[in-house]
Chain A
Amino acid sequence: MYKKGQVSNFDLVIAMSIFIFILFVMVGTWDEISRKIYHYEDRRSTYYKGLDITDILIKTTGNPTNWDRLDTIDSSTVFAIGFASKPNVLDEDKIEKFESLEYGEMKDILGLSKEDFNLVIHNIGGSDEILLYSFGDGLNKSHVRIDRYAILDEDLVRLSLKLYY
């Protein structure tokens, strides 16, 4: 009877240790979930950005239409970039003009800030794929890839955009 209501210190210490352990596991899990939410959000946002960029590249001529004939190409002279002469038909002059730009200028004109990119155009009309153009470097980072198809010089080409985030 005299032990009623008494707590053993040893039990209390064990209980607190288990509680602290569970608490640390919960904190770790919580942070991991937050990190995953941000990662998923970045991926989703980057994917839609990639869709918009490739849409505008293959479907529009750019603004101004003859931006490839301008002496200075930057965000103050070119309002929007586009590789097409008409929807889904690419203009080689525009692609080559884009190729002459520095990587930073390309990023700026594509509306990219923190993301890096790698844009490649392959001729897939024949039996083998032939690399025609490559802009930016491939990186070993999380990325999304968007493939679009268009016509260039009467050949079928695949424009692949990788956005690294």
Chain B
Amino acid sequence: MKATQIAAAYRMDRKGQISVDLIISIIIAMILFVFILNFAESQYKKTEDTIRVLNAKHIAEKLAREINNQYLAGNGAVKYITLPKTLHGGKIYNIRVFPGAVLVDYTVMGERNPSYKTLTSDIYGAQNGLNLNPGRIRISNVNGTIYLENV
């Protein structure tokens, strides 16, 4: 066999071959890829959850601060506010008002209820938890007592 034929055969032998260390490198790269996918998914869920928690906190805070403002405004003060129908991502929630606190209840991987405290606990019907639906709410002050109702 001529030298040129030997060289051509050698080159043919090398075609399509990969070394063991390359296989190991590719396996590591694939493990890394799976890890990144998992990480990205968990971070995405975490971000969604953070937005939802902040969203719920803002709703509790908005209602609580409006209760404070109507208390501060004195007898006869009335205000209408509108709370969003759902939380971020279309999640349904409920509002419960207790003497001194507003809770926003929703369920994502267990029950969640971010809350915000009010500065007056004289809220009509709140002793055992006053349930309100999201949407339009009337807040009024009658002789220092706060009345809340869906309208």
Contact = CB atoms under 8 A, between A and B. Distances in A.
Interface string A39-54: 0010001001100110
B36 A2 contact: no
A52 B32 contact: no
Interface string A1-27: 010000101001100100110010001
Looking at B21, B65, B118, B120, the one whose CB has the most chain A CB atoms below 10 A away is B120
Contacts of B38: none
Contact of B117 (A2, A23, A112): A112
B117 A79 contact: no
A34 interface: yes
A23 B36 contact: yes
Given A2-B15, A16-B25, 16 more contacts: A2-B11, A2-B14, A9-B25, A13-B25, A38-B50, A41-B57, A48-B61, A53-B119, A56-B119, A63-B71, A63-B144, A75-B99, A79-B99, A81-B119, A111-B117, A113-B117
Interface of A: 2, 7, 9, 12-13, 16, 19-20, 23, 27, 30, 34, 37-38, 41, 45, 48-49, 52-53, 55-56, 59-60, 63, 75, 79-81, 110-113
9 contacts: A2-B11, A9-B25, A30-B43, A48-B65, A59-B72, A63-B120, A79-B122, A80-B71, A111-B118
Enumerate the 4 nearest inter-chain pairs by beta-carbon distance, A residue then B residue, closest first. Answer: A79-B122, A80-B120, A111-B117, A52-B68
